[in-house]
Copies of this chain bind each other. A is one copy, B any other.
Amino acid sequence: MNAKERFEKFVTRKGLRRTLQRERVLEVFLATERHVTVQELYDLVRKKHSGIGYATVARTVKLMCESGVCRQVDFGDGSHRFEHKHGHEHHDHLICLECGKFEEIYSPELEKIQDRLVRKYGYIQESHKLDVFGLCPRCSKKKRK
């Protein structure tokens, strides 16, 4: 099931309505590979569809998060950014505190241990978010000088 189907099923299942605006916001969101803020997504949307309002974009982002096609990423700078999961596997983030660059990382081993840990507490895992903060190779070299 792709992201679009997933979102539309979610909307329908919730008794909400499928609208042109929601579809367009979703399309624009899926078409970018950046981690966008609501404002940035709004700007992108406006380039193609000038009639869509900020509130609609914000509301749609919230829905997209609930539906699971979108998730919030926080890199410690206070801004709220969102990324989609279309064509992505799940991944975590490795963020440089110095230059702000980040890597998307993934380790099946890490996932496995996490699963085991969560089950030990009797929880059913829905999702998780791991952000590692540190210094990237370039910045750590600079600092040592």
Partner-B contacts on A (CB < 8 A): 72, 74, 76, 94, 96-97, 103, 105, 107, 109-110, 113-114, 117-118, 121-137, 140
Counting every copy of the chain, the complex holds 2
Q: 4 tightest CB-CB pairs across the interface, nearest first?
A: A122-B137, A128-B132, A125-B134, A126-B134
- Residue on B with the closest CB to A107? B117
Contact between chains at A121 and B103 (CB < 8 Å) = yes
- Residue on B with the closest CB to A127? B133
Shortest distance between the CB of A40 and any CB in chain B (Å): 18
Residues in B neighbouring A127, C-beta threshold 8 A: 132-134
Contacts A105-B117, A109-B113 given: A134-B123 contact, CB under 8 Å? yes
Q: Which of B72, B131, B136, B137 contacts A129 (CB 8 A)?
A: B131
Contact between chains at B135 and A124 (CB < 8 Å) = yes
Q: How far is the CA of A110 from the CA of B130 in the complex (A)?
A: 11
Q: How far is the CA of A96 from the CA of B126 in the complex (A)?
A: 9
Shortest distance between the CB of A105 and any CB in chain B (Å): 6
